[in-house]
DNA sequence: GGTACTTTTTACATCGTTGGAACAACGTTG
DNA sequence: CAACGTTGTTCCAACGATGTAAAAAGTACC
């Protein structure tokens, strides 16, 4: 039932290649023939067989995007932006979910043959340097996390500086017992945000205490709530908390409310990611807002550059901007 | 650099076809040869060229999923589940975003050639019957919305019944001025939920009033907040609101809080979709919880059945289960 | 050893497309 | 008008895999 170049060629009375030339915008086709081919194309409703074309061209027209889970708002938002940015360049995006486990991440990475996709954007959570494929495979761009010592393109915000900005904001409000939620030694992001936290503390003349840093294996809302409960149960509980992402912060908000305390009067809270929902929580969440659009576009840009040319370019490390979005959870409700 | 069947064949000292046979699990291969081929496969790290294989087989191994926007939590969650379900059947999923506009939906639908994907799951928002491609194209399964008079497979919950359940719940709490947010004549989902709303009202002996039904073009949080504000400004404001999705409800919660009123004491609120965030809002949101996993799996099941065989099967209409999830926004906080 | 049958392997064509070379038609130029 | 460059078209091979059918190798039986 499907129409091929051959069918179009027969109808137009020219060779297959001439039709191919018209389809691909080759300049030297007699106007008369071009017209007839175009008519035949329209009449038959021809659509190129992408698979065959790519087999011939050695390109697939697909990019892979590897993320932990689409149901996590940050990744849902990011994936949406990546798809939009990729589409502008003529790519379709294939999404792979890893649940953030190292084994699934490795598996996914190694399954990305050069035949399946032209390149991949990966947002690792647990990968280690050794897991990366030998260079020379398909172009890879890492998002958000920096696995050390891997010479691979990388796009992210400055996590350390962003965390520092968030915590400095809390200190500037006069808070002195500033806690953190989200420690997880297995995740590079966690270490970076922790580093920023410590820097900001010492810059503000506050001392660091292990007791105020709550671990969180998964950065989910329920984990944030549990962590907050245990922080509030301390002999001298915190008067501010920096959560390593918005989900943890949303959970923390709930834990505070359940104990009958107020945000920000009793505890000020800052999140990280600026999920859409965070502008509508009660109170609305102060948070670090990475420029996700810039992130997505920079990543697509990089992978595009790798694929078309510059194979030899040394690995890039691009930082995209962020901003501190101050809302009710630290500022208080505006009258 | 990439390894083809030919390379493996040379190494193993057999023909290309024998290697192909081993790869595809053909029964009649001498154990000795099978062993040698398997060794060669392992040694070379052979990976089939998906494009070539599919060109030959006439299948692509891809499914398309068309949704309005991944950044909307419901679609992020759904997409995640669809990808997982598809993966179990060996499909990769390509995501297309339409922003919910009719033009982008039509465009997307018509670009889904049979060469690009084996089938598609579409979640239309604005499409009309006329926009659907002639049957005989690729298998299509519609999610969530029922464009009338199109003989296409369809999976959704019973929207009318679900809405009715939600509103009956409000009535059972003794609320008498029950409003609704989300009217949008262009969207089938809206009409269905409105129908359920009206049914429940009359079942409870309550009268319907146009003034209590707030329109909402986009079902986003900010729209819900605005709609709620205008409802609360009525001469006799509602004591309960049924929002057509959770985002509207989250917005409504905020509007109520900003006016210094309490949920559920002053206004009880019910949402629809059971987004993950809704279990953590303050107060937590009572909502209709569709079984999204069942939805995703039923859809994949259907498209799978269409692709492998049953072309002639009449269009299916499958209803997946839902439940009313009662939380603080109607029940009140548990002591 | 020959026949008939089964198992195993191979050669070849093919999927739909595009790159390259060969070829044809054309107008220009000397 | 022969030689030439430019334009336009066609033919053929190739991308990497698999289906088909035929060839080759075994096996069983008389």
Is the CB of B92 less than 8 angstroms away from the CB of A97? no
- Chain-chain contact of A225 with B280 (C-beta, under 8 angstroms): yes
CB B297 within 8 A of CB B143: no
Query: Residue A148: which pLDDT band, with cuts at 50, 70 and 90?
Result: low
| Section B296-321 average pLDDT | 86
pLDDT digits (tens, 9 = 90+) for B111-150: 776 677 889 999 988 777 667 765 557 888 999 876 667 8
Answer yes or no: are the C-beta atoms of B254 and B227 closer than 8 Å.
no
Spatial separation of the C-alpha atoms in residues B223 and B215, rounded to whole Å: 9
List protein-proximal bases of chain C (any atom < 7 A from a CB). 7-12, 14-20
Which nucleotides of strand D come closer than 7 angstroms to any CB of the protein? 7-12, 14-20
* Helices and strands (H and E) in chain B: how many: 12, 12
Find residue B120's DSSP bridge partners. Answer: B64, B140
Nearest to B2 among A81, A83, A114 (CB): A114
Read out DSSP for B3-46? --HHHHHHHHTS-HHHHHHHHTT-S---HHHHHHHHHHHHHHT-
Min CA distance, A63 vs chain B (Å)? 10
Least Cα separation, residue B200 to chain A (angstroms): 30
The 10s digit of each residue's pLDDT in A51-82 is 888 888 878 888 999 999 999 999 999 999 99
- What pLDDT sits at residue A100? 84
Residue A167's pLDDT band, with cuts at 50, 70 and 90, is: very high
* B29 strand C contact, CB < 7 Å: yes
Interface probe with A: pick from B4, B80, B83, B97, most Cβ of A within 10 Å: B80
Q: Which chain A residues contact residue B55 at CB under 8 A?
A: 49, 51-52, 55
pLDDT per residue as tens digits for the range A182-200:
999 988 899 999 999 999 9
In the predicted structure, residue A127 carries a pLDDT above the cut 80? no
C-alpha–C-alpha distance, residues B125 and B151, integer Å:
17
pLDDT in tens, B65-111: 999 999 999 999 999 999 999 988 878 899 999 998 888 888 888 77
Tell me what pLDDT residue A135 has.
52
Confidence class for position A301, pLDDT limits 50, 70, 90:
very high
Of A55, A77, A94, the CB nearest to B93: A94
pTM as predicted: 0.89
Which segment of A186-190, A268-272, B182-186 scores lowest on mean pLDDT?
Answer: A186-190
* Alpha-carbon distance A133 to nearest alpha carbon in chain B (angstroms): 13
What percent of chain A is modeled with pLDDT above 70? 94
Beta strands in chain A (DSSP E): 62-67, 92-97, 119-122, 140-143, 153-156, 178-183, 213-215, 240-243, 268-272, 286-290, 317-319, 322-325
**pLDDT score recorded for residue B311:** 67
- B194, pLDDT greater than 80: yes
pLDDT of residue B28: 83
pLDDT the model gives residue A114? 67
pLDDT of the residue at B27: 79
Q: What is the mean pLDDT of residues B153-167?
A: 96
Looking at chain B, which residue has its C-alpha nearest residue A259? B335
pLDDT for position A51: 83
Give the model's pLDDT for residue B335: 47
Instruction: Match 């799996």 to its residue by tokens.
Output: B297
Yes or no, beta carbons of A277 and B250 under 8 Å apart: yes
Whether residue B102 contacts residue B131, with contact meaning beta carbons closer than 8 Å, is answered with yes
Q: pLDDT per residue over B201-252, tens digit each? A: 999 999 999 999 999 999 999 999 999 999 999 999 999 999 999 999 999 9
Count of helix runs (H) and strand runs (E) in chain A? 12, 12
Q: Tokens at residue A316, please?
A: 């890039």
User: Distance, angstroms, CA A150 to C1' D16?
Assistant: 32
- How far apart are alpha carbons B241 and A69 in whole angstroms? 32
Give the model confidence (pLDDT) of B270-308 as tens digits: 999 999 999 999 999 999 999 999 999 999 999 988 887
List the structure tokens of B281. 């809002």
**DSSP alpha helix (H) spans, A184-310:** 188-203, 221-232, 246-258, 292-307
**Averaged pLDDT of chain A:** 90
Which pLDDT belongs to residue A113? 67
């Amino acid at each position: 039932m499907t129409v091929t170049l051959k069918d179009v060629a027969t109808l137009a009375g020219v060779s297959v290649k001439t039709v191919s030339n018209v389809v691909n915008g080759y300049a030297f086709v007699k106007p008369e023939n071009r017209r007839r081919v175009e008519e035949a194309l329209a009449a038959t409703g021809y659509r190129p067989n992408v698979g065959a074309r790519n087999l011939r061209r050695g390109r697939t027209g697909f990019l892979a995007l590897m993320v932990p889970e689409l149901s996590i708002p940050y990744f849902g938002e990011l994936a949406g932006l990546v798809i939009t940015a990729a589409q502008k360049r003529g790519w379709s995006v294939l999404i792979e979910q890893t649940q953030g486990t190292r084994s699934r991440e490795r598996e996914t990475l190694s399954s990305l043959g050069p035949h399946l996709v032209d390149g991949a954007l990966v947002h690792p959570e647990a990968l280690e340097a050794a897991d990366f494929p030998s260079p020379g495979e398909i172009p890879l761009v890492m998002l958000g996390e920096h696995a050390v010592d891997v010479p691979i393109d990388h796009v992210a915000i400055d996590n350390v500086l962003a965390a520092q900005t968030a915590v400095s904001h809390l200190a500037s409000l006069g808070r002195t017992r500033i806690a953190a939620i989200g420690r997880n030694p297995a995740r590079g992001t966690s270490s970076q945000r922790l580093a920023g936290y410590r820097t900001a503390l010492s810059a503000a003349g506050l001392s660091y205490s292990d007791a105020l840093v709550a671990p969180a294996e998964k950065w989910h809302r329920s984990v944030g709530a549990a962590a907050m409960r245990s922080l509030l149960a301390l002999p001298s509980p915190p008067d501010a908390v920096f959560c390593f992402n918005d989900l943890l912060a949303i959970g923390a908000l709930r834990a505070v409310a359940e104990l009958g305390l107020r945000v920000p009067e009793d505890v000020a809270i800052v999140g990280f990611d600026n999920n859409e929902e965070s502008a509508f929580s009660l109170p609305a969440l102060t948070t670090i807002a990475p420029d996700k659009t810039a992130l997505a576009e920079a990543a697509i840009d990089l992978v595009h550059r790798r694929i078309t040319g510059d194979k030899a370019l040394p690995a890039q490390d691009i930082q995209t901007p962020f901003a501190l979005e101050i809302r009710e959870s630290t500022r208080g409700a505006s009258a």
